[in-house]
Structure 1
Amino acid sequence: MASTLLRKVWGSVLSRAVPRDPDASASSSSPRRRGAPAAAAAAEYGSLGALDAVPIDVLAQILRLLGPADAARSVAVCRTWRLLASDNALWAFFLSLGPDPWDLVVFAETHLAAGPAQPRSVYFGTVRVPPQLSFKRIYGQRALVPGSIIVDGGSGYCKYGWSKYAAPSGRCATFLEFGNIESPMYARLRHFFSTIYNRMHVKPSARPIVVALPLCHSDDTEAARASRKQYKETLYSVLFEMNVPAVCAVDQALLALYAARRTSGIVVNIGFNVTSVVPIFQGRVMREIGIETVGQGALKLTGFLKELLQRRNISFESLYTVRTIKEKICYVAADYEAELCKNTQASCEVDGEGWFTLSEERFKMAEILFQPQIGGVRAMALHKAVSLCMDHCYNTEVLRDHSWFKTVVLAGGSSCLPGLPERLEKELHKLLPPYISEGIRVLPPPFGTDTAWFGAKMIGTVSTFSDAWCINKKQFRQKSRHSGSSLVNAWR
């Protein structure tokens, strides 16, 4: 009943619409005290008739209830309504009702709207300070952004879906191991993306695509740069040959950092085969500082748990069963020696196989991240790799302020193990000197196993997505013609 009455009132308001004054400024000053009647503004900005006696905040609430479409139409009524409909808080309210979390919207529009960071800005310490955000303009631009396809190949499992959806629409084993960029690269990439498009039942020409790029080679040698360049150019070539209208390719580690609402920090990505420690400053992977690679990942963790189960003569059908047990009841011990003295027995059920009961195997499995030798693994301990990366960041002195690398963001499926952030932070404080360790924070994956996918989603829905983040076939061909100024060098 109230809604019907409100619509009738709004109809009478629109029926008195006056031509818009092109010289009027939406930012003009007006009496907008809470509870003040609209009559105070009517003399200068136009009468609202019977609504002149209604307080301004009540009129603003009417616009909230009517929604963005009618709020936009109200600018034609008179200057008073135009001022109300241009209020930043009103459009911030409309944006907060959307599918994306409000804090992610603000972060994306503040830090990602300008597009990928330019490498030169790193050395001059340039920080882009955005102007006051106009949420009305942002709302309109975001509404026009085409829905894009997001593909996060991962290194073991692929997540794909639509940028307008709240979560990935499909998951599967990776058809193409992204970390392996050996020949025939073109054929393998084309098969991979063709399979994704077939599974999503969409034509490649229908939507832009956001692709999470793998780490590939971690060092910054000339051969590694050439290999990354070849991989990225092949990726663009494959997608444009499939008639994809626009492509956005971003590093997986960078996407995980964005999902945590950061542009600088260290990303620890526990992948399928290896774990990488990636320093990122102002949206750029700092390969010249050094990316540390630990030779163990999710596969080693699952394999070690399998070995522990076999020692206790616990039978299981496959590695999938072991992985399920790992995800359900395994964790990282805050103090390994103290945990050995506790009763840590717990059980979980695996569909089709019944119940499994574990004790110290629950935390022994993950301990090889910090003590690789107990699992017979010859690799650097995780906390030592992170501390080494931090030490390099400190000595590089990119900025006088050394706080940029003290936020560590975890990514990858196995990084979701309970207790890992706390244990890693504790080990770093023990290992590093106080002038480096002070202020260190280790953050869990903000969106679990889908963290990189959500980072790509933030880019795919930002108001400037098409212009700032995407490249089309024409731009790709033009930049590829210029030797020495390759597309890849500008976008890596």
Structure 2
Amino acid sequence: MVELLRKAFNSMCRRKHVSALHNDDMDMESGEAEYTKLSGDLLLWIFKRMTAKELVAVSLVCKTWYLVANDEMLWEALLREDTDPRHWETVLFAESYLRNGFASREPCVPLSFRTIYGDRSRTPRSIIIDGGSGYCKYGWSDQNEPGHRLPTFLEFGNIESPMYPRLKALFITLFQCMEAKPSAQPIVLTAPISHPDNTGAALGARKQLREITHSVLFELGVPKVCFVNQAILALFAANRTSGIVVNIGFNVTYVVPILHGKVMRSIGVELVGQGALHLSVHLNELMEQNIRPAASMYTVRTLKEKLCYVAEDYEEEMTKSNIRATFAINEEVTFTLDNERFRAPEILFQPRLGNLRTMSLQQAVALCIEHSSALPVTRTGDENWFKTIVLSGGTACLPGLAGRLKKEVSKTLTSASLADGMEVLAPKYGPDSAWFGAKLLSNISTFPDSWCVTRKQFKKYGPAVVHRMALDDDCPPEDACFELLGKK
């Protein structure tokens, strides 16, 4: 029987029927897949060489294999096998809500696991670049974490300053470090959370950043670019499309409301000076006061990341005595911290302790929640979208921060009903939330077509296509984007 089928397959190859087996454009959602449509003469050639008993057996086997090949449980199992168990829920979220791309506001029409599995296997490998005011993290979309980290503020200023030569030098350096050819794969780039207001100057700065970034990448030969705000990517990494992202950055903390994957800048809050840098400076000051000076700010930052935490109750924590912890920088240098461990992060909730003249974190989040609650919603179930608070950034990983923030915001809100059902989510992927959000997008079954601006589109339509595809409330509606791209 096996030999007979082998001869049949060889005959089919000679007759060029094998093309149906490798047709990339076949309709996977049709009732019968292309590979089941063999010509009548080929079937007759096979059946003529079988006995009646063999024909009965083949009919049963064919029906069984057809059922197996179309069983969703099989394709779900295969997709699970190819996915890190820690990321399975994230994959389901992405394929359910993000497959339609930048203009998607509704859950996607469910597709079979069979279709998703096939499409994901054809998704091209991408380069992910997560740039910021402090550090740039970059790597390949099939890696579990960023492969490289670059202190952009030392060598290039930062990616928020859209100077053409500076950005070009930065991208060339990244490509060289990765030994990658710019024209060989799509690029997923995170847009910094900058200029939160809607003044003319801020709007112009955001548009300038989009235009110059795309211009540089397309000049270098990149075929497709996906440029998405870091706050949106952090929200996607938490398996949400709506919520309030609290990003504690290098020198600024942003409270960013996002509704259906779109930044609502008109009600966002910016805390200048309230960031990771000032926490490190404050910790250094506390260490010097207690005659435990550190050798460098790099050492202070390391101690902050390894030993510091946020007290659930600051006054009560001050009365405790057994809170010392030690960390060895190397074999010869060891540091021990006492109450500095929780006193340094406390400036997030009591800025005056660090001589900061800024709003506290809980006040900023509460203000954003109250403004967001006044926004009209058009879909049932969206009424409480603003009660999901997602933390992002390295400092947001401090133990105890999520619980303390929830407690303080609940006390600060003017209405107790706004605090009912509120949840504060710690960074699921540590300080690399935005990078993992970009990785999530770059592995969706419809990527890159659903999320990227192509070099050809940019050359044909100009910068307008970049602004229309941005997930921002200062950009035109998605209908205009579809019209511009000729998708309607």
Please classify the TM superposition score into its range, dividing by the shorter chain length. 0.7 to 0.9
Q: Which consecutive aligned stretches of 4+ in structure 1 deviate over 4 angstroms post-superposition? A: 9-24, 46-49
TM-score (norm 2): 0.82
Structure 1: state its 5+ residue gaps: 1-8, 28-42, 53-76, 119-126
Q: How does 1:112-123 map to 2 (within 5 A)?
A: 112-117=98-103
Q: How does 1:68-107 map to 2 (within 5 A)?
A: 78-100=62-84, 101-107=87-93
The 1:470–1:314 alpha-carbon spacing in structure 2 relative to 1, beyond 3 Å, is same
Please state how far the C-alpha of 1:291 moved relative to its aligned partner: 3.6
Structure 2: state its 5+ residue gaps: 34-51, 472-488
**Superposed CA offset, 1:219-250 (max 9, x none):** 01222112111110100000000001111000
Distance in 2 between residues matched to 1:372 and 1:10, nearest whole Å: 77
Equivalent residue number for residue 333 of structure 2: 354
Please state how far the C-alpha of 1:150 moved relative to its aligned partner: 0.2
Equivalent residue number for residue 291 of structure 2: 313
For the pair 1:447 / 2:433, whether they are aligned, the reply is no
> Equivalent residue of 1:467, what SS?
coil
Please state how far the C-alpha of 1:162 moved relative to its aligned partner: 0.4
Share of identical aligned residues, percent? 48
Question: Could you say what the CA RMSD is over the residues aligned between the two structures, in angstroms?
Answer: 2.6
Distance in 2 between residues matched to 1:411 and 1:439, nearest whole Å: 21
> Equivalent residue of 2:453, what SS?
coil
For the pair 1:274 / 2:280, whether they are aligned, the reply is no
**Superposed CA offset, 1:173-210 (max 9, x none):** 1244446426xx10111011111111111111121110
The 1:11–1:488 alpha-carbon spacing in structure 2 relative to 1, beyond 3 Å, is farther
**Superposed CA offset, 1:7-65 (max 9, x none):** xx9999888889999999359xxxxxxxxxxxxxxx9xx8545x96xxxxxxxxxxxxx
The 1:16–1:322 alpha-carbon spacing in structure 2 relative to 1, beyond 3 Å, is same
> Equivalent residue of 1:456, what SS?
helix
For the pair 1:406 / 2:378, whether they are aligned, the reply is no
Number of paired residues? 429
**Superposed CA offset, 1:137-190 (max 9, x none):** 1111111111000000132121110001111111121244446426xx101110
Distance in 2 between residues matched to 1:165 and 1:13, nearest whole Å: 41
Distance in 1 between residues matched to 2:343 and 2:287, nearest whole Å: 11
> Equivalent residue of 2:201, what SS?
helix
Equivalent residue number for residue 482 of structure 2: none
For the pair 1:418 / 2:403, whether they are aligned, the reply is no
**AA at the equivalent of 1:114:** N
For the pair 1:293 / 2:271, whether they are aligned, the reply is yes
* Contact kept in structure 1, 2:160 and 2:192, CA below 8 Å: no
**AA at the equivalent of 1:206:** A
**Superposed CA offset, 1:306-353 (max 9, x none):** 001111111322111111111111100000000000021111111255
* Contact kept in structure 1, 2:282 and 2:354, CA below 8 Å: yes
Distance in 2 between residues matched to 1:11 and 1:426, nearest whole Å: 72
> Equivalent residue of 2:267, what SS?
coil
* Contact kept in structure 2, 1:294 and 1:382, CA below 8 Å: no
For the pair 1:427 / 2:408, whether they are aligned, the reply is yes
The 1:47–1:476 alpha-carbon spacing in structure 2 relative to 1, beyond 3 Å, is farther
> Equivalent residue of 1:78, what SS?
helix
> Equivalent residue of 1:129, what SS?
coil
